[in-house]
Structure 1
């Protein structure tokens, strides 16, 4: 049981790291489209509830004002049918369900859990002989070295783009290493992610096609590769079918077809060929509904779609019938426009693609929620409710600004992305890969070949997503930054693949000579290395404590005092598991259950000092309730020495006295000198 529980620790650690970054940055974030998804999810949930007789439909209105409001609501709903087809009811259902249980903190935890499990599976499949500590290193690389935590806390389906692609790659490359339940679980994640947004379907199809080409080049043999391709294509079919079924159900119920805005038509117009074609064709008798807008600037696709200014906007300011006609004519119009100026369109698309690839930083996930809380329109939507239930932004609504700025993200995440690419390039340029390319000796199924495919596909996913979003929709930072964490994951896999299976690292000869110096040995003998490791575990426990505490206060609405009585026991369990496998690795005098009880008693004694110092700090200085990390630090420091002595001499008391060691017990045992 303990081994099974310990095997899931990297996933738990990954979730805590991801959520920890969110806590450090402030809180989860929303976007304008979050309101659409929430409404769509609520409508979907209510429909299910009515059908299953779990929820009773409201009685028809009888008051004249209520009747008028109902008619207006019906008209607004009908108008929304011309655009809501671009908003997934399935992601909306996830968003709405998590809000009924908790807040957008719970949405964040769910999205982070999926991401942490996929990162863990990628580690386990790609690095079957890697030491256990490297699983935590990989989770840390992705959590602290990429944009993933910010998109895991972004209440939009963007994060599932990378989930769909990474899951598909694992199915395609490592099918034979997956257990049946794991295949189903990853397939379910991939299929569900594709129902969340059309671009996820296109990314997954492109990756599957590229993998199929690589299989042909490598002459893949056996049924496993074919099964993997069929399985991924089956998830695509299921996802498309699920989306179609929902649309047909709405059509049967309301008589309206769910449609999506004419994104591609507006892209072609903003790129130039569509604009030039309109101004050429309309005076010559063309009957496109867009002809009535040919004299507008027509140079910004976002304005064309969503602006309320009639001097710039089209879709958002026109009539219901015009919207329908635009959508019906979109494919034909795009083909005519591209045929009118094909070279210009190709150049414009390539420019958009290239521009999209450079946008690896955060923008919308770092937007100050003050805008949604004070804007004349958005303040009347569900967004203020979602924001205020997750955090108190103060009377002036300025108290929820993220700590990381967009400018800082541009520097930080662009740099991290380039470092990740450099590490992947370094790994592919090492001797084993060079020999494979030179001798053309890559064979399907070999470890080196799988690693090559994995790293290639992860980078290819970045390029594919850039084209799908940049060329077909428009270059926006959010569309690219959502998936760039795959580079951090690939870089981590590449570097960990160089670590020997026993986890030993070779120490340079100069470092060993330095360690052997008498003065260094004098200090080394006076250091209790178990205390150093205990302190490292304490930092991890502090992180667990902080994340759970913020979840209890922000998600469950508990007070800072009551929340601590939840977060502290969780942190105790986490530190017991870590101390058992890391700090005190020797054979102990107690069986696991007895050890756990003694450890709990020791931590309880330390907890009295910990919580006492924490409560005293809050009592003496109430403003600390807005800066919980500070009283948490006081509490942790107060209990550290007491819990270490109790752990060392009671909970983890060795079965026999260990031999005195001159060199410290390192987390990564030292091998020979290079």
Structure 2
């Protein structure tokens, strides 16, 4: 147990090395909104009330290094459990996994970033463990993994379709009620949690009370919603009729700048919480757009998802854009002076982090390109050994990175950090499965009635055709 704890803690430190180089946790402008959820407090219109309270659970207005440490330990522990399922409790192999992820992939730029992005890969690992490995977890570990999965799914709206895709795929593979129920329980719990918090905070029993505004931003950027507005105005009397001549525009420019159509009306008056004010009209425009141009909407979603799938660089988590206004003010108003000094001294705050990081980014693309062949080789090795658990992990990873691209690129906007947060699992899972298939790296067999490791047929159809999981 002591060796395992040391390995997990050491792996956690490896996974946040960009924060040590930076001199502070990596931040994004949205981090300020999550801090405001408990510090102000303020129920942000565009964010679930989940990640902000989790930050506060650890920072207690003392330091953001504390939630970063918790985040790193959480990721390291989930990787430890995954490795233990594949090859047993081997501390040195866990350290090798964390070292590889830290040095060769974008993982540390997600783990060291105080954003709910960190939960995307964890949701995938948790659902894998719940669906295909609970006999190698203790009861406490199973409950813990379920709790992490629930909070992770609820922490970001894009994690809902991600989790749904994984649960559906898990059901197709498992074909038994118990593992499917274990995978579905966190998703159902996350839905209930979102409904409850939105009812309390926004007075609406909804998963996303103002999510239509985001979808409208995406659809007008792609063109269909802009054409709907231009065709239906001024007869429909929509607020956005006054901006029909400016559309389409970039979705971020539509949503966030102070002078955007969302935040300033045609007469130049500022609109406080403009995104929330626009959401009833946004629902109407989105519905009309889907009625008018369903094919164009579907084609745009596919294009954006494919584009997102190939955008996975770490650069947009390193820049200082809007950090002073969005995060610096929160730290100055609610944290000790020493914490503000650490924020001010950080390389990211001073705009020096991208240049300092450049040499460390070089392995990322080659390793990502290696990921798919590694997974294919892992599929072959797992099928040859009849190891359905390893096969399931690889299949869930492939489905997860695809579902993540669809949920973020198609419904929001392609950004590098969206796919970088999860695509690092592709080469890592492939390497772990290949390593586990080698002699001496297999965990002890489970009792015959529950074993999923017995040698079997080489094809997936034959493997699944025997008994399911």
Instruction: Please indicate the TM-score interval, normalised by the length of the shorter structure.
Output: 0.7 to 0.9
* Contact 2:27–2:113 under 8 Å retained in 1: yes
Q: Does 1:172 align with 2:131?
A: yes
Q: Does 1:333 align with 2:285?
A: yes
- Structure 1 CA distance for aligned equivalents of residues 341 and 372 of structure 2: 36
**TM-score, structure 2 length as denominator?**
0.83
The Cα of 1:238 is off from its aligned counterpart by 1.9
Hey, what does 1:381 align to over in structure 2? 329
* Contact 1:459–1:486 under 8 Å retained in 2: no
Structure 2: stretches of 5+ with no match in the other structure:
266-270, 443-469
Hey, what does 2:457 align to over in structure 1? none
Hey, what does 2:66 align to over in structure 1? 106
Please, which of 372, 375, 391 is the counterpart of residue 342 of structure 2?
Answer: 391
- Structure 1 CA distance for aligned equivalents of residues 138 and 64 of structure 2: 33
- Structure 2 CA distance for aligned equivalents of residues 427 and 479 of structure 1: 25
Hey, what does 1:352 align to over in structure 2? 304
* Contact 1:423–1:491 under 8 Å retained in 2: yes
Hey, what does 1:40 align to over in structure 2? 37
- Structure 2 CA distance for aligned equivalents of residues 344 and 471 of structure 1: 13
* Contact 1:465–1:480 under 8 Å retained in 2: yes
Please, which of 201, 212, 215 is the counterpart of residue 264 of structure 1?
Answer: 215
Hey, what does 1:5 align to over in structure 2? 2
Aligned in 2, Cα 1:330/1:479: closer, same or farther, shift over 3 Å? same
Hey, what does 1:473 align to over in structure 2? 412
Aligned in 2, Cα 1:345/1:248: closer, same or farther, shift over 3 Å? closer
- Structure 1 CA distance for aligned equivalents of residues 418 and 273 of structure 2: 31
Hey, what does 1:187 align to over in structure 2? 146
User: Secondary structure in 2 aligned to 1:113?
Assistant: helix
Hey, what does 2:250 align to over in structure 1? 300
Aligned in 2, Cα 1:230/1:13: closer, same or farther, shift over 3 Å? same
- Structure 2 CA distance for aligned equivalents of residues 325 and 378 of structure 1: 21
Paired residues in the alignment total 431
Q: Does 1:415 align with 2:363?
A: no
Cα deviation, 1:433-472, whole Å, max 9, x if unaligned, reads 3x58xxxxxxxxx5x2221111111121111100000001
Aligned in 2, Cα 1:321/1:86: closer, same or farther, shift over 3 Å? closer
Please, which of 300, 315, 323 is the counterpart of residue 363 of structure 1?
Answer: 315
The Cα of 1:39 is off from its aligned counterpart by 0.9
* Contact 1:91–1:157 under 8 Å retained in 2: yes
- Structure 2 CA distance for aligned equivalents of residues 321 and 26 of structure 1: 34
Hey, what does 1:273 align to over in structure 2? 224
Aligned in 2, Cα 1:396/1:40: closer, same or farther, shift over 3 Å? closer
The Cα of 1:342 is off from its aligned counterpart by 2.7
- Structure 2 CA distance for aligned equivalents of residues 133 and 320 of structure 1: 54
* Contact 1:41–1:94 under 8 Å retained in 2: no
* Contact 2:154–2:191 under 8 Å retained in 1: yes
The Cα of 1:307 is off from its aligned counterpart by 1.9
Aligned in 2, Cα 1:324/1:112: closer, same or farther, shift over 3 Å? closer
Aligned in 2, Cα 1:410/1:476: closer, same or farther, shift over 3 Å? farther
**TM-score, structure 1 length as denominator?**
0.59
Q: Does 1:123 align with 2:73?
A: no
Hey, what does 1:563 align to over in structure 2? none
Hey, what does 1:288 align to over in structure 2? 238
- Structure 1 CA distance for aligned equivalents of residues 426 and 394 of structure 2: 8
Cα deviation, 1:22-81, whole Å, max 9, x if unaligned, reads 32454312111111111112256xxxxxxxxxxxxxxxxxxxxxxxxxxxxxxxx7xxx6
Aligned in 2, Cα 1:391/1:421: closer, same or farther, shift over 3 Å? farther
Cα deviation, 1:565-607, whole Å, max 9, x if unaligned, reads xxxxxxxxxxxxxxxxxxxxxxxxxxxxxxxxxxxxxxxxxxx
Hey, what does 2:446 align to over in structure 1? none
- Structure 2 CA distance for aligned equivalents of residues 470 and 395 of structure 1: 31
Hey, what does 1:628 align to over in structure 2? none
User: Secondary structure in 1 aligned to 2:76?
Assistant: helix
* Contact 2:226–2:248 under 8 Å retained in 1: yes
Cα deviation, 1:288-336, whole Å, max 9, x if unaligned, reads 3322221113221111111223xxx221224469755631233342232
Hey, what does 1:581 align to over in structure 2? none
The two structures, once aligned, show a CA RMSD in angstroms of 3.1
- Structure 2 CA distance for aligned equivalents of residues 397 and 244 of structure 1: 36
- Structure 1 CA distance for aligned equivalents of residues 317 and 46 of structure 2: 20
Q: How does 1:496-515 map to 2 (within 5 A)?
A: 496-501=435-440
* Contact 2:28–2:115 under 8 Å retained in 1: yes
User: Secondary structure in 2 aligned to 1:103?
Assistant: coil
The Cα of 1:353 is off from its aligned counterpart by 0.8
Hey, what does 1:59 align to over in structure 2? none
- Structure 1 CA distance for aligned equivalents of residues 148 and 11 of structure 2: 18
Q: How does 1:532-611 map to 2 (within 5 A)?
A: none
Structure showing greater radius of gyration is 1
Greater RCO (CA < 8 Å, at least 6 residues apart): 2
Aligned in 2, Cα 1:259/1:342: closer, same or farther, shift over 3 Å? closer
The Cα of 1:379 is off from its aligned counterpart by 7.8
The Cα of 1:134 is off from its aligned counterpart by 2.1
- Structure 2 CA distance for aligned equivalents of residues 28 and 114 of structure 1: 16
- Structure 1 CA distance for aligned equivalents of residues 441 and 71 of structure 2: 33
